Amino acid sequence: MDLKGKTVVITGATGGIGRELCKEFSNEGVRVIAIARTREKLDELKKELNDEGNVYIEADFTKTDDVEKTAKEIQKFTDQVDVLINAAGVGVYKSIDEVTIDEWKDSLAINATAPFFLTKLLLPLIKKSEKGVIINIGSGMGEIPTACRSVYCATKYALRGMTLSLAAEFKGGSIKFVHVALGSVLTEFGPLTLKEKEEESLKGKAYLTPSWVSQKIVHIIKNEEFQEEIEIFPSGYKEIK
């Protein structure tokens, strides 16, 4: 797929992977519609990308109304979306005794409900693309049940099931659904800080880097290497879970 001139929507655009995706797509001459929770971080991203053609939308995906408002905002700026990447996510790593109802609700809202409804609301724009692509950024935790991660696993299992079901629903059509299951990545996401992960990396634990992951995703889209599910795990990931 020739990406130049295409329109790509990225949620979680100011996170470790989302930010790198925005950079990679900008370098390809893509119009990026970046969605994130805080205006301050979006303003920082805008300075980094330095492209007046991009769009920056502030939204809190714990609120269904914000998902709907986001779709309406996107419709104001474009009548066609070529790629949607649902990269926004939240990780709660606690025992069931520690988890609060709000943490459960917010995790489901951000990790599963928002991707579903944003996809649904943007489908009319994606259908206008000659080759529409929807990539949902999942996790190995959507495949591997893990102690004290029941909330996160539940939401990532949900995202995975949703993506694979939609891939079956649209099989043979012009829109491709891809679930990308990621292993451990060197970002602030999760129970460890970036510094702690870097220290673990020095001790031998394998991590993916956000820049490498983003380059891999852009490569998949450019070369149309669409599979319903793609695992991107660092070495030894499944063995240590």
Per-residue pLDDT tens digits for 13-23: 999 999 999 99
Residue 239's pLDDT is: 61
**Percentage of the chain lying above the pLDDT 90 cut:** 83
Q: Please identify every stretch of the chain with a pLDDT value under 50, giving residue numbers as ranges.
A: 241
Check residue 12 and give its pLDDT.
Answer: 97
Domains in the chain: boundaries: 7-232
Residue 40's pLDDT is 96
pTM, full prediction:
0.93
7-232: which CATH topology?
Rossmann fold (3.40.50)
Structure tokens at 155: 């939401």
